[in-house]
Amino acid sequence: MANQPLAERLRPKSLETYIGQEHLVGQNSILRKMIESNTLSSIILWGPPGVGKTTLARIIANTLDRPFYTLSAISAGVKDVREAIDKAKKQLFFNRPNPILFIDEIHRFSKSQQDSLLGAVEQGVVTLIGATTENPSFEVITPLLSRCQVYVLKSLAKDDLKKLMQIALKNDSELQKIKIKVKEEESLFRFSGGDARKLLNILELVAAQEENGKLTITNELVTNSLQANPSAYDKNGEVHYDVISAFIKSIRGSDPDAAIYWLARMVEGGEDPKFIARRLVISAAEDIGLANPNALLLANAGFDAINKIGWPEGRIVLAEVTIYLASSSKSNSSYNAIGDAIQLVKTTGDLPVPLHLRNAPTKLMKELGYGKNYKYAHSFPGNFIEQQYLPDELKKQRIWNIGKSQQEASMLERLKHWWGKRFV
């Protein structure tokens, strides 16, 4: 239908026409095997906007020939959930497989709404497929999360976007009416940001610039079209991520004026306050870190306060945390240390734990030397005694490189006192 958006006209109907997420639905992948064997359990699809979460849920229901009920967490309440479950129960009397209940943006469901799902999921009345752009470990209650497998969907790669664009130009009846030549594609993919829906929206917007049934797509044309019609391609996507990026970079750059400006942009734009609060917690750990450990405490307290008081007063809490973090001294030494340590683990593998550090709860373990010669630090002056804590192969390895903040300078002096030349 011509009045449908391009993204809806091209929505895939089968796994064969589904683009991206090969790690989940490619040949011999875990989710594909589950679908093909008709052993689908309740799942949560976690990924950024426009990567195919809703489409995949519909494909699963079509492939398995299951009744499919859908709710949006934005508009549905507990009553809507119970009505959907009641409909599902009636389906069971006809010896059909249990229906699929798809809940879009499940992270927006309150605890009571999620609680109302538990019984039906546990008893197998419905198979739940939830879609979320937020980390489900933060937003989905533990009892419900424990009954679901979580699958992570990734932003579409450039090759996936290119394939999608070619399919649109070749198969869409409306675009076929225009003789379209793609001279440059970099801006198309850059502004899409791995979002299939956004790519198709941009393509549709640019196609409206055709003259006499002809169109040549260039980077300049795409950029100018989007600048003239920002709402046509970006409701919660590009601006959402660009503004939060500017917000965090302003904090990292110690500019409280810029940081509070970008915070105001998000507040006025209707951003989820918990999303902002989470990013502040991350910033406190990543960018301020050991230079001011109180920053993480304040950011975490801000996150708790947001959950207690909500809007509109929550904006004051976010403003206080934002200004404090932006004005604080900075260090990313912890951030770098864990990244370097993970890389070290990947390159050296599972090195054995030194015997003296091993746990020895049984007689046999003690006889094997587990825990032997371990020195209990608190039994020595200053609660310190030099001994080896890293695996033998890494015993001289340095991982944490102290930052340049005053707080870390005092930490370095203490380590020098204990370890001597190791921390010179």
d(CA 22, CA 30): 10
CATH superfamily of 21-152: P-loop containing nucleotide triphosphate hydrolases (3.40.50.300)
Contact 59/18 with Cβ under 8 angstroms?
yes
CATH 1.20.272.10 spans which residues of the chain?
238-327
Cis? peptide before 12, omega within 30° of 0: no
Q: What is the pLDDT of residue 164?
A: 93
DSSP state of 402: P
DSSP state of 163: H
Residue-level length of the chain: 424
Thinking of the domain 238-327, which architecture would CATH place it in?
A: Up-down Bundle (1.20)
The tokens describing 283, both together, are: 């910033």
State the pairing for strand pair 149-152/127-132: unpaired
d(CA 392, CA 353): 8
Residue ranges in 269-311 assigned as alpha helix (H): 273-283, 294-309
Q: Can you say whether residue 41 is alpha, beta or left, with left for phi > 0 and alpha for psi between -120 and 50 degrees?
A: beta
Question: CATH classification of 158-233 is 3.50.50, yes or no?
Answer: no
DSSP state of 422: G
Q: Where are the beta strands (DSSP E) in 183-228?
A: 214-217
> How far is C-alpha 52 from the geometric centre of its chain's CA atoms?
15
Torsion of CA 344, 349, 355, 357, to 10 degrees: 40
Mean pLDDT by 10 residues, the chain (424 residues): 78 91 90 89 89 93 90 80 84 74 87 86 89 85 90 90 92 89 88 86 87 88 73 48 84 89 83 88 92 92 88 89 91 88 86 86 84 88 87 85 81 84 80
Q: What is the pLDDT of residue 93?
A: 62
CB-count burial class (<10 Å; 0-12, 13-18, 19+) for 151 = buried
Q: Give the containing element (helix H, strand E) for 130.
A: strand 127-132
Q: What is the pLDDT of residue 102?
A: 93
Contact 22/129 with Cβ under 8 angstroms?
no
φ, ψ for residue 181 (rounded to 5)?
Answer: -120, 125
Q: What is the pLDDT of residue 234?
A: 45
Q: What is the pLDDT of residue 236?
A: 47
Residues 6+ apart with CB under 8 A from 97: 38, 64, 65, 66
DSSP bridge partners of 104 = 72, 131
CB-count burial class (<10 Å; 0-12, 13-18, 19+) for 173 = exposed
Q: For residue 105, count other CB atoms closer than 10 A to its CB.
A: 19
Tokens 């991982």, residue?
399
pTM value is 0.57
Residues 6+ apart with CB under 8 A from 316: none
CATH 1.10.8 spans which residues of the chain?
158-233
Residues 6+ apart with CB under 8 A from 104: 53, 54, 70, 71, 72, 73, 74, 131
